[in-house]
Amino acid sequence: MPDPNSPDPVLDQLRAIVGPAWVMTAPGETVGYLEDWRRLYRGRTPAVVRPGNTDELSRVMAVCHCHGIAVVPQGGNTSMVGGAIPSDAGDQMVISLSRLNRVRAIDPVDMTMTVEAGVTLRAAQETASAHGGLLPLSIGSEGSAQIGGVLSTNAGGNNTVRYGNARDLVLGLEVVLADGQVWNGLRRLRKDNTGYCLRQLFVGAEGTLGIITAAVLKIVARPRETAVAFCAVASPEAALAVFARFQAHDPAAIQAFEYMSGLGVDLVLRLVEGTILPLAARADHYVLIELATPRPNAGLRQSLEDVLEAAMADGEVIDAAIAESEAQIRAIWRLREEHTESQKRAGASVKNDVSVPVSSVPALIRGATAACEALLPGILVAPFGHMGDGNIHFNLVQPPDMAAADFAALDHAIMDTVAEIVRTLDGSFSAEHGIGQLKTYMMADWRGGAELMMMQKVKQALDPAGLLNPGKVLPKS
């Protein structure tokens, strides 16, 4: 293992490839790369290496491969599961992709854009928008998260209900393999049945099979009309009934359908400055509905009113606010998007990024709430998220009078309690955040047998020396 404090032949080789300024070893320079967004993990590293292009990364990987040095790819470092943080042994090199930040091409006829891994999701969205299109992936961390990280976690987010997950937007990839070879699969083809679909192996692999350096992404037509409502609903069952109404009315117009608990919204209103409830009274359950269409004059506002009126008449919707301006749309979305920040401010929290069939969301909310309250009386149950995908962030916040460390020590007990409810509903213990290092302990139980065996064989084939993001995704065998 190279010692960061002394001249080192490996680090010198890396400096010769990327330039001395881009091999960072001083603690002041590396600290931001060694702790995750949730502050659950702190790692150590001999160096953070920041290549400037694919060729440099290829040569960096060849050196690391030759010396048996493990690497941890890192994008915006917003992983919810500690995926981009090295272990605390101090022998894993962090490879930051942030200097690969060019949009290489955008084609409004093919409706594609070719972007490098270190472009932030927001910058990619803005480029698509400047060319009259929409990159239809929206997540709370989009200002920091980078395309490489978003693809490597197969991020979901607010618009999955309409456009699918990140993997549904990828037509081509460029990847640096464990030994430094470059695979150029940057195809812009809508149809290409030529053997195994290799690009999808790397999407969602969390940096354990190769390092993504660029991608060809699909873009879609930009909405010309948008209508957004924030509604108090009578119950989780009523929230589902409202979703079913919009599905029956015009499924193609549903851009987002998000659920929020009363307690979660209370935390946002209390802890995030400038947020306001656009309704006369608080409720125990809310939904946010966004309709959108590229067709002009489609009458979405009227559709929204008609469906909500019928839902109100049947007692599903208690009260609703329909946004009258861009500013009101943003204010409504803040109530949803500030959930993560408000929960961070409220103390220790345990996140359960789970999914069930959409029809089972009410059973999930009720079952997991009861189970968590039985496990720890006083626990704050604040589920929210992408109801239209069956993906609920079943998040729990510490009781106010409990020490944060005592609550954090219960993380596995709480995660297992929620997971057991999810299992009875045929769901998944990780819907969109991935496995990282937080959930590897659950893999053998949930994905054991033939499934885990196939994953291990794929890993063995592409990374036989185990140098790519060790300790992530797969349990130790």
Q: Which helix (H) or strand (E) holds 385?
A: strand 380-386
Nearest distance in Å: CB 393, ligand MLT: 4
Question: Which of 380, 469, 392, 477 is CA-nearest to residue 430?
Answer: 392
- Amino acid in position 390: G
Residue 407 contacts which entry, ligand FAD, ligand MLT, none (Cβ below 5-8 A, type-dependent): none
50 binds ligand MLT (CB under 6 A): no
Q: Which is nearer to ligand FAD, 320 or 438 (CB)?
A: 438
470 binds ligand FAD (CB under 6 A): no
140 binds ligand MLT (CB under 6 A): yes
Q: Which of 92, 159, 293, 340 binds ligand MLT (CB under 6 A)?
A: 340
Q: How far apart are CA 246 and CA 369, in angstroms?
A: 27
Q: How far apart are CA 395 and CA 368, in angstroms?
A: 10
Site track for ligand FAD across 178-217, x = CB under 6 A: ----------------------------xx---xx-----
Half-sphere exposure in the Cβ direction for 178 (13 Å, CA):
22
Q: Which is nearer to ligand MLT, 51 or 385 (CB)?
A: 385
Nearest distance in Å: CB 460, ligand MLT: 31
The token pair that represents 120 in the structure block: 């932030």
Q: Which is nearer to ligand FAD, 97 or 354 (CB)?
A: 97
Stretch that binds ligand FAD, among 1-9, 51-59, 138-146, 276-284 (CB under 6 A): 138-146
Q: What is the residue-wise DSSP string for 236-271?
A: HHHHHHHHHHHHHH-GGGEEEEEEEEHHHHHHHHHH
> Which residues 6+ apart lie within 8 Å of 448 measured at CB?
none
393 binds ligand MLT (CB under 6 A): yes
Residue 150 contacts which entry, ligand MLT, ligand FAD, none (Cβ below 5-8 A, type-dependent): ligand FAD
Q: What is the 8-class DSSP label of residue 167?
A: G
Residue 145 contacts which entry, ligand FAD, ligand MLT, none (Cβ below 5-8 A, type-dependent): ligand FAD
* Binding residue count for ligand FAD, defined by CB under 6 A: 38
**93-132: contacts with ligand FAD (CB under 6 A):** 97, 117
112 forms beta bridges with 107, 218
Nearest distance in Å: CB 449, ligand MLT: 29
Residue the block writes with tokens 């979305």: 333
Confirm if 95 and 51 have CB atoms less than 8 A apart.
yes
- Burial readout 111-136 (b: 16 or more C-beta within 10 A, e: otherwise): bbbbbbbbbbbbbbbebbeeeebbbb
- Amino acid in position 80: M
User: What are the residues binding ligand FAD (CB under 6 A)?
Assistant: 37, 72-80, 83-84, 97, 117, 139-141, 144-146, 148-150, 152-153, 155-157, 206-207, 211-212, 340, 432-433, 436, 469, 472
User: What are the residues binding ligand MLT (CB under 6 A)?
Assistant: 140, 339-340, 351, 353, 385, 393, 395
